[in-house]
Amino acid sequence: MNFTDLSNNIFDAVIVKYHETDHVDTAIENPYPERTIENLLYLKNWIDTVQWHLEDIIREPSIDPVTALQIKRRIDKSNQERTDLVELIDSYFLDKYKDISPKANAKINTESPAWAIDRLSILALKIFHMKAEVEREDVSGTHREQCNTKLGVLYEQRKDLSTAITELLEDIESGEKYMKVYKQMKMYNDPNLNPVLYGKKDNK
């Protein structure tokens, strides 16, 4: 099984597991040993899945403003955790390919392997929820038909992205491409970089 198939299988399993309770406060039960790539992939998609539903909840028109603020800050924290996990997954690839010598004409890709895997994780969520729309019985046939068309596009997108990731990893392994990891350096959560947090009122 290649890495992309492994990722897709874990992502699909996570989403099914989450929806056994369908609650954002459900405790994660990661079945994989710590410090393994499988563990990181499982955790990555669990965070994505919880955040998906937090994004739904916060859009409730009648939501209490205090509750909305609490959820917004929870989403901010989740975004930081997602970024940290992407960087950990990229560190796995950096270590895996550390002995590969890129060819003289090797090229760098537009994004690192882990950021492509991040998109694959979100695609798994889109597919699951679009499929649920196709299977709804309380909507019109037109709604189901439109969603089924979108579902077909999502499946095609996952196939294409999976192929692209597999080819990228093969190119890195063969030295045709090389990878770098740039830390995201998010500023809004850093008390030393966000002027609101370090007390500066005007960032101009």
Question: Which pLDDT score, from 0 to 100, does residue 66 have?
Answer: 96
Residue type for 202, please?
Answer: D
Other C-beta atoms closer than 10 Å to the C-beta of 88 total: 15
> Dihedral of the CA atoms 129, 133, 135, 136 (nearest 10)?
130
Inter-residue contact 202 to 196 (CB < 8 Å): no
Query: Any idea which residue has 């796995």 for tokens?
Result: 92
Q: Where are the chain's structural domains? A: 3-191
pTM: 0.89
Tens digit of each residue's pLDDT (9 = 90 or more) over 34-73: 999 999 999 999 999 999 999 999 999 999 999 999 999 9
DSSP state for residue 177 in the 8-state scheme: E
